[in-house]
Structure 1
Amino acid sequence: MNEEDLNEALHDVIVRSGPPPSMDPARALEQARRVRKRRRATWAGLAVVPLVVGVTAGPALVTNLTGDRSVGQMVAGGPGTPSVFPPSASTPPVSTVAPTTAPKTRKTGDPWPEGQVDRTATTGPRADRAVALMNELTSALPPGFTSPDLKYPSGDPMRWPQSQYASNDGEPDYWEYSASIPVQKDNRVGKLLALSTTPNGKPATDPCKLAKGFWGGTGTCAVVDVNGKKVGVVTAKTGGDYDQWAAYRYADGTVVFVAQAKKNDRTDKAPLTQPVYTARQLAELATSPKFKISS
């Protein structure tokens, strides 16, 4: 890696570290952890490329060097567990205007797609999809839980959507849509996150391997069957951003993660006394079509 490559990588990390215009440290930390994990995997793989070239007589085939993210630990719910899906609240229609085609393979120096100034789409159809995702996550809350418009001490909202162009150099273009909301019950506050990644050309993998690639932390994983769909559910070790998360990969390559935590960092509110969802309910959410965004 030369100096120019290093500068490009550092610049990429900076622009991915958080959704403008907010400067909320908590959000920036979450984004940075995702970027760091992807970068480590990519740089480690690039170190192997010269060896492959040296022993191959023809063109070298460089495989995708980054793995899919995973979600947190989960334990399957017992018989009689109620469905996780209450009637959906009305959601503003998402724009169906076709976005400008992004580069098929990301290269150093390529302009950001669709006229963006960095990775994050703050207006247009992409931003609309992230807002719709946040509204769907809110409408899926079980009775007794709400998601008020709370703010951090800095004044930044705890409810935030984000859409970003997620491709690194050498990867096919793909997008990542996420939504984080505070969850309140009896003046106690936790948080939920939904994240949908469009098909990125990476191969299918074991549900637990997928789930353990999530940037929220590490833990133990169980595979939960939801009407024939295999979902990896991780229950985290202490100290992570989330207590539990689920991951599901569709046949077309779309990946959905749903994560929950009883505690919402940097607030004066006490944490929730119970998880918002059971493990099975979390797995059901990960397979819900309402969270699948494939374009």
Structure 2
Amino acid sequence: MKEEDLNEALRDVIVRSTPPPSMDPAHTLDRARRARKRRRAAWGGVAAGVLVVGVGAGPALVANITGPRSVGQMVAGGPGTPSASPSASTPPPVSTMAPTTAPKTRKTGDPWPEGQVDRTASAGPRADRSVKLMNDLSSSVPAGFTTPNLKDSDGHSLRWPQTQYASNDGEPDYWEYMATIPVQKDNRFGQLLVLSTTPNGKPAADPCTLAKGFWGGTGTCAVVDVNGKKVGVVTAKNGSSYDQWATYRYDDGTVVHVAQAKKADRTDRPPLTQPIFTARQLAEQVISPKFKISS
């Protein structure tokens, strides 16, 4: 194969290769949908690794094949004249090793942090934080309510913790820790959720603007003062996944949401006839230090 043919083939491979699309950070409680997203993200990570190696190795291969010949042709005296500087004919080494940790600002093709295969941390200290978050949420329900280990029709528990690396391209590293639990009173079932997001570099917003950003929720918002802390409490319109939620942003940028629904997700069990918390109680829960995870 001629030098020009090889260069053209490598350029064609690089042009036709594209980095994997960034993963949509939007949440969903449907387990099948989450599993599908995680599989797609995992394949996206594999594709990114192949691209990094291909792009890094390609120029190195071309340089090794064409370097000495090109240098000889550029030296005065013709193709057969040796270079005045022997080191000039040797191209600098090109590293094809992908970094093992994510940088402080996310870029397309970066590896997932801490050895993860996708956005979800399924083991280790970060995963443990979501489990603790779930247990703390369970211990917070009012008297008269319980938090059973209810299962859906496929046998999956409705008590569910998740830790997710949430940064998209161009954003600093930040994490989301979430837990959902079913809540029972008599023979009826509702649901609670807590979501704690580490500081993400985004500017502060007023409590209601911040609260209405929770999963794109819509409804009426009221600011509730709890010991001098301003909490946004949204009562959702019909059709929302949650009936009501409270949102609070700490001075360091950590944001916490606590949400409640009279009906438990992924079950046909009859819904609760009353909210688990009053609006005031929900606001008090969201500022509880046990739900704040800042790293």
Q: What TM-score, normalized by structure 2, do the two folds share?
A: 0.69
Secondary structure of residue in 2 paired with 1:215:
helix
Say which one has the larger Rg: 2
Partner of 1:252: 252
Report the Cα distance in structure 2 between the residues aligned to 1:145 and 1:5, rounded to whole angstroms: 52
The question of whether the paired residues in 1 share the 8 Å contact of 2:145 and 2:185 is answered with: yes
Deviation per CA, 1:234-266, whole angstroms, max 9, x where unpaired? 000001100000000000000000000001133
Say if 1:255 and 1:168 are closer, same or farther in 2 by CA, change over 3 A.
same
- Determine if the alignment matches structure 1 residue 24 to structure 2 residue 31: yes
Q: CA RMSD in A?
A: 2.6
1:8 aligns with 2:21: yes
Q: Contact 2:26 / 2:215 at 8 angstroms: preserved in 1? A: no
- How far apart are the structure 2 equivalents of 1:103 and 1:278? 43
- Cα gap change, 1:4 to 1:271, in 2 (>3 Å): farther
1:16 and 1:119 in contact (8 A); partners too: no
Structure 1 unaligned runs (5+)? Answer: 33-99
SS of aligned partner of 2:280: helix
Per the TM alignment, residue 5 of structure 1 is displaced from its structure 2 partner at its CA by 6.7
Q: How does 1:187-206 map to 2 (within 5 A)?
A: 187-206=187-206
Specify the code of the residue in structure 1 equivalent to 2:134: M
Native 8 Å contact 2:162 2:177 kept in 1: yes
Distance 2:28 2:103 in 1: 23
Q: Which string of whole-angstrom CA distances, capped at 9 and with x for unpartnered residues, describes residues 47-102 of structure 1?
A: xxxxxxxxxxxxxxxxxxxxxxxxxxxxxxxxxxxxxxxxxxxxxxxxxxxxx974
Amino acid at match of 1:197: T
Q: CA deviation at 1:103?
A: 1.8
How far apart in 1 are the matches of 2:102 and 2:281? 36
Partner of 2:119: 119
Higher RCO by CA contacts (8 Å cutoff, separation 6 or greater) = 1
Cα–Cα, structure 1 residues 3 and 130, in superposed 2: closer, same or farther, change >3 Å? farther
CA contact (8 A) 1:216 1:240 kept: no
Provide the residue aligned with 2:273 in structure 1. 273
Give the deviation of 1:8 after TM superposition: 1.2
**Residue equivalent to 2:64:** none
Superposition deviation, residue 6 in structure 1 = 8.2
**How big is the shift at 1:154?**
1.4
**Total equivalences in the alignment:** 220
**Structure 2: which 5+ residue stretches go unaligned?**
1-14, 39-99
Matched residue, 2:219: 219
Structure with the bigger percentage of helix = 2
| Residues 1-295 of structure 1 mapped to structure 2, 5 A cutoff | 7-9=20-22, 12-13=23-24, 24-25=31-32, 102-215=102-215, 217-295=217-295
Report the 3-state secondary structure (helix = DSSP H, G, I; strand = E; otherwise coil) of the residue aligned with 2:215: coil
